[in-house]
Amino acid sequence: MDPVAEEEARPVPEERTTEPLTEYVHRVTRRVRAFDRRHPLLWDLHLAGFWVTAALIDDVGEGWRNVTRAPDTPGWLILTLSLGLSVPLLWRRTHPRSVLLAIAPSALVNAWTGAVLQAALLQLLVVFHIALRRPPRNLWWATAVVIVPVAVAAVRHPRGSADQDIVPVLMSIAVAIAIGITVRTRRNYTEALEDRARRLEIERDQQARLSAAAERARIAREMHDIIGHNLSVITGLADGGRYAATKSPDRAAQALTAISTTSRQALTELRRLLDVLREEESEAPQAPELTPQPTLTDLDHLIDGVRAAGLPVHTSIKGTPTITPGRQLTIYRVIQEALTNTLKHAGPTATSHINLSYDDTGAATVTVTDTGRGGPEPHGTAGRGLPGMRERTALYGGTLEAGPRPHPEQGWRVHLHLPEETPQ
């Protein structure tokens, strides 16, 4: 193989989008935050202990004499002030306002005596936590609490102009407040994103459950329509074949043939429906065999099957159907359910009449009547037939009426109206 072609064919490693150092810093930061959430008191003890140790080192090592304005300040006072300015930091996160007020007397004595210990700068850490955890209105008085000792030191122990003492402290306070507000904003933004993600996850799960419930209802309707209708046809054929067996063996054989055909058709439709529900796939998955949903062109086949089961059906059609497949399926299923109920409840001498009317706007009206006397249970009083028809009708804003025909007529009447289709 050509070396150049081999070099071009060699897979190019994916470019790292994150620098190793940045990734390491992020990982360490996440671990520190996780440790802080699990052990907040332990973390506070470590941090407060660090600042207390730093203040005592400045005291014992007499580093404070490099910046003090009163070198003759007694050692016991320096030690007391160092502890008063550092120990309260243990509660800086839970009670930052109280900590600042607890430090204020030590800071004021520090300025009044001219010791000017650098531990007074720890007040900036408390101001940061006030900006991070408390309402912004607290920043005004917190700034005043920090500035007052500085102003006292500038007046009692001047080292130059007053602005040289006060302005740097004001700038330091502004930086501490800015950092606190920035961290607070970032934290609130992150929490908002996390809350939104949680809500979206809950909404997704709820939508999935609603979709699953709707799908189960749809599948229940389809199975009811498929199994209920075909079993009713089979029952009618079996009853007719039983009566014909003694007088006309040929008619009985025809009934058995029709029963076999109807059974196979029902089983095939049921298998197709169940294939869609299969959750587990084989190693070489194959798409289930699918067929289109019934439409108005399949009504003739449906009516022929009902007639073969022994129910005379007459049809009357007005207009030309120009409606969507979904509406056609609704009309088909309503007619199928009405004929199935007639087969089951109307009696052996009943007849059925189907009247379909369409107009150019897409509206459709279907009326299915029978002349039966009803069975042990009136039409639609048990099972899922009538609720299923109403659910299908409601999907397209239609109306469905089902009940006995007005006196003196006998039988049952199902009236469906689908309104004009509105453009989407």
Judge whether 43 lies within some domain: yes
Banded pLDDT at 292 (limits 50, 70, 90)? low
* Final residue belonging to a domain, choices 110, 131, 159: 159
Residue 288: the pLDDT is 46
Banded pLDDT at 51 (limits 50, 70, 90)? confident
* Final residue belonging to a domain, choices 127, 159, 191: 159
Which of the pair, 341 or 6, is modelled with greater confidence? 341
pLDDT digits (tens, 9 = 90+) for 385-410: 677 788 778 888 889 998 888 877 88
The amino acid present at 423, given as its one-letter code, is: P
Residue 309: the pLDDT is 74
pLDDT at 12 over 60: no
Judge whether 240 lies within some domain: no
Judge whether 359 lies within some domain: yes
Residue 4: the pLDDT is 45
Nearest to 325, CA basis, from 362, 361, 293, 363: 293
pLDDT at 369 over 80: yes
Residue 187: the pLDDT is 86
pLDDT at 283 over 50: no
Judge whether 94 lies within some domain: yes
Q: What are phi and psi of 403, to 5 degrees?
A: 175, 180
Q: Token digits for 189?
A: 């933004």
Q: How far apart are the first and last CA of the chain?
A: 60
Q: Which of 106-110, 173-177, 369-373 has the lowest mean pLDDT?
A: 369-373
CB contact at 8 A, 373 and 265: no
Q: Token digits for 136?
A: 């912004």
Residue 368: the pLDDT is 92
The amino acid present at 9, given as its one-letter code, is: A
* Final residue belonging to a domain, choices 159, 179, 205: 159
Residue 78: the pLDDT is 82
Judge whether 165 lies within some domain: no
Domain count, the chain: 2
Banded pLDDT at 178 (limits 50, 70, 90)? very high
| Average pLDDT of span 355-382 | 74
Which of the pair, 100 or 157, is modelled with greater confidence? 100
The side-by-side arrangement of strands in the sheet containing 399-404 is 313-318, 352-358, 364-370, 412-418, 399-404
Residue 287: the pLDDT is 47
Q: What are phi and psi of 136, to 5 degrees?
A: -60, -25
Radius of gyration of the chain (CA): 44
Q: Token digits for 150?
A: 């500085």
| Average pLDDT of span 26-32 | 80
**Percent of the chain topping pLDDT 90:** 9
At residue 291, the 3 state secondary structure works out as coil
Q: Which residues of 267-302 are buried (b: 16+ CB within 10 A; e: fewer)?
A: eebeeebeeeeeeeeeeeeeeeeeeeebbbeebeeb
Which residue bears the tokens 């949680």? 198
Judge whether 228 lies within some domain: no
Nearest to 269, CA basis, from 305, 320, 317: 305
**Percent of the chain topping pLDDT 70:** 72
Q: Token digits for 418?
A: 């689908």
Judge whether 312 lies within some domain: yes
Domain that holds residue 379: 301-424
The CATH number linked to 353 is 3.30.565.10
CB contact at 8 A, 173 and 122: no
Q: What are phi and psi of 346, to 5 degrees?
A: -80, -20
Residue 353: the pLDDT is 92
Judge whether 103 lies within some domain: yes
